[in-house]
Amino acid sequence: MNLKSTYNQNFDKTILKTMSCNIENVESFKFKLIPIDEGIGQESSKDSWMKNTKLKNNRIEEFKSYKDAIWLLSAGDSKYPLWINMTKLNEKEIQLEFSQRFRHIKTSQNQETGHPPFKVIYKIDNLVEKTNKLKELLIEKSKLREIEASNINQITLPFEFIIYFLVDWSGPERLARLKVFKSIERIDEQLEIYFIDGTDQKFEFIDKFSEKIGQDLKFQYAGGHGTISFIRNSEIIDEIKFPHTVEETKILNTLTKWIDTITGNAKTK
């Protein structure tokens, strides 16, 4: 069996798992393709060609047929996205978030799923409600603090701080939020992590906050990715840009590293 047919079969297997359907239904679905620029790793000439030519010139923002989705997710020479997250939007539509790093299928991520590079992202009913309960608990424990229009003038931010951007309309952010909040809950250090709710998309607020700290945060606020930023003296030192694609243990390890840095610096002052 060649690599192309293996990839196509893995695509079919993931659709069957996502949609709980028969093989006869596979070609009836429409696909929303969302390329993710991870901002890590070296961009190859193939990556650049896919991003700036093939994807750019084929109306990537429009829903695609099964045949077109397969074609658009192939860079030729057995090169496919390093990972692809598949989510059911409704009974007829599927979302495909995918890495813009195109690599040989033998090096694909999600080997453990049995159909790499694909991973099924299950929707969780009432996810916002569930995570909001944890959010309120973290606020009560002084592990989380919201920055909003009502307190932006009173709040005094430290030299170093961590801030999380959430938005209820974003599926990826809602999927990331539970992992982020559970990670914060497991941290022992008594350090507030700030968050901003960008659901209403009021840019006057984020402009005011950006001016307050000396750093433009419009992308993090409006992107809907659930970005977590580590900021020091008005400079973004590090970020987790797409936490819904990151394992919870890695989120916890990164947050722990940042907090150790912040508390360590505070003790030396």
> What pLDDT, on a 0 to 100 scale, did the predictor assign at position 269?
61
Mean pLDDT, the chain, rounded, equals 87
Domains of the chain: 3-120 (no CATH), 127-268 (3.40.30.10)
> What pLDDT, on a 0 to 100 scale, did the predictor assign at position 40?
65
Q: How does pLDDT run across 162-198, given as a tens digit for each residue? A: 999 998 777 788 888 889 999 999 998 888 899 998 8
pLDDT above 70: percentage of residues in the chain: 93
Between 251 and 264, whose confidence is greater?
251
Residue count (the chain)? 269
Q: How confident is the model at residue 228 (pLDDT cuts 50, 70, 90)?
A: very high
> What pLDDT, on a 0 to 100 scale, did the predictor assign at position 6?
86
* For range 92-107, the mean pLDDT: 89
Between 173 and 41, whose confidence is greater?
173
Q: What is the value of pTM for the model shown? A: 0.57
Q: How does pLDDT run across 110-147, given as a tens digit for each residue? A: 887 888 899 887 655 466 677 888 999 999 999 999 99
Q: DSSP letters of the chain?
A: --HHHHHHHHHHHHHHHHHT--GGGGGG-EEEEEEE--S-SPPPHHHHHIIIIITTTTTTTS-B-HHHHHHHT--STTEEES-EEEEE-SSSEEEEEEES-EEEGGG-S-GGGSSTTEEE----TTHHHHHHHHHHHHHHTTSEEE--TTTTTT----SEEEEEEE-TT-HHHHHHHHHHHHHHHH--S---EEEEE-TT--HHHHHHHHHHHTS--HHHHHS-S--EEEEETTEEEEEES-GGGS-HHHHHHHHHHHHHHHHHHHHH-
Q: How does pLDDT run across 62-98, given as a tens digit for each residue? A: 999 999 999 999 887 789 999 998 988 888 999 999 9
> What pLDDT, on a 0 to 100 scale, did the predictor assign at position 126?
60
Task: Check if the beta carbon of residue 226 is closer than 8 Å to that of residue 170.
Answer: yes
